[in-house]
Amino acid sequence: MTTRSLLCGLVAGAAVLALAGCSAADRAVMFAPECPEGPSARPAQRELPPGTAWAFGAPYDAPAGDFGEGPVPGLTGVVSVADSGHTVVAVRSDGTVWSYGTNVDGSLGHGSRERVYEAEPRQVTGIGPAHAVYGGGATFYVVLRDGSVMAWGSDRFLVGGGKREGHDGVTVPERVQRAEDVVSMGPNLPNAFALRSDGRVLGWGINLTDVLGERDGTRIGTVPGVSGVVDVASAGGAVVAVKADGTVCAWGNNAHGLLAVEPTGGQSARPVHVRGLENVVQVAGGSDVAYALDRHGAVWAWGRGVSGALGDGDTSDHVSAKPVRVTGLPGIRRISASRFTGYAIDTDGGLWAWGSGTAALAGHPGTSKGAARPVRIPLPAPALDVSGHHAIVEAHTR
């Protein structure tokens, strides 16, 4: 807990509250409803059918003339993909891990920190059998089928589970110590989060905005005050989690309204209830913006709406602390996010996007503008999953 939060807490309820340096936002977060108790959960590793990795945008720093759209050579039988912008990592159904793109301080996982571009996917050795891959900046985390986690990339601190061992990149996969029984992850920068099979959330990294809870240190540990979780996502300065009963909780920084508390501002190490959402089955997080998918197929957004990230028709840099429904979508079965872009896959496999850069993705080259409402991204086959500018599509592509 920060010194300011502690001081506010000591005088909470007193007439001198406003004189203690507590803003209206501090008080609003302090008295926000806590994350409610709910049923226990036993989340399991999500199984996806294998498909083909399809690029609808080239990795950053790709040489002129390199392919920018189409099936990624050799990446068939893919069940999970993570696109950092520079580097793309995929898991195939045989449990092998492959990467291509620009090597950012070891992000390709091939043993070198040299900044080179590799156009052809190459297997990342020393890891497996893998289940799924997740990216946080130029650092990648692979959840293995046994529930352990291996990682590599630009941030040695995070690869080491919050242990301070220098700042150089990790060029080959290393096991993240004390990350066990993991079913999925929600990493970001400068921290990472993992969902365990018992419904608890592990967190490690920098605790600047109380995203690790009320504790000192940076090492991996359980986030207090939240249990029964079935999905978790980092949204920048805050973390959002959906519980087995469909309620959503959040903790961390409320500067952009991610705790759904008004007035915006302040922060909380205590998970609070995100009101206005129910029957939620999945959450996703971008850069200070969060998304939720409910069991009826509706998508909700809250937080920072720059470049159309809220899908509310407004591309200005604005904030909504109240979850608003993203309109113009058919029934949705899966969501994802990347920075200021939201993605949704409908029940027929159609891919939709809104926010930063989506005008170009929708077939309007030469523009970097964001779409303020969802637009359809053309793909040759139904989408199974998406990350950044890469999707997994059903295998019968042309």
Q: Which residues fall within 8 angstroms of residue 240, CB to CB, at 6 or more apart?
A: 232, 233, 248, 249, 250, 258, 274, 283, 285, 290, 292
Q: What is the pLDDT of residue 359?
A: 61
Q: Got the DSSP string for 326-387?
A: --S---EEEEEEETTEEEEEETTS-EEEEETTHHHHTT-TT--PPEEEEEEEP-SS-EEEEE
Q: What is the pLDDT of residue 68?
A: 72
Please provide residue 369's backbone torsions phi and psi, each rounded to the nearest 5 degrees.
-70, 155
Residue 156 belongs to what H/E stretch? helix 156-159
DSSP annotation of 51:
B
Amino acid making up residue 293: L
- Tell me whether residue 283 is exposed, middle or buried, using C-beta atoms within 10 angstroms of its C-beta: 0 to 12, 13 to 18, 19 or more: buried
Q: What is the pLDDT of residue 396?
A: 67
Contact 50, 93 (CB under 8 A): yes
Residue 8 belongs to what H/E stretch? helix 3-10
Give dist(CA 314, CA 283) in Å, integer: 22
Q: SS3 sequence, 352-367? A: EEEECCHHHHCCCCCC
Give dist(CA 226, CA 34) in Å, integer: 10
Q: What is the pLDDT of residue 4?
A: 47
- The alpha carbon dihedral of 288, 318, 272, 325 has a sign of negative
Shortest CA distance to 201 belongs to which of 176, 219, 177, 184?
A: 184
Q: What is the pLDDT of residue 360?
A: 60
Give dist(CA 396, CA 208) in Å, integer: 46
> SS3 for 218?
coil
pLDDT by 10s per residue, the chain, length 398:
444 454 465 444 443 444 456 899 999 999 999 999 989 999 999 988 999 999 988 888 888 777 678 999 999 999 999 999 999 999 999 999 999 999 999 999 999 999 999 999 999 999 989 999 999 999 999 999 999 999 999 999 999 999 998 778 999 999 999 999 999 999 998 999 999 999 999 999 999 999 999 998 999 999 999 999 999 999 999 999 999 999 999 999 999 999 999 999 999 999 999 999 999 999 999 999 999 999 999 999 999 999 999 999 999 999 999 999 999 999 999 999 999 999 999 999 999 999 998 866 665 554 557 899 999 999 999 999 999 999 999 986 44
Q: What is the pLDDT of residue 397?
A: 47
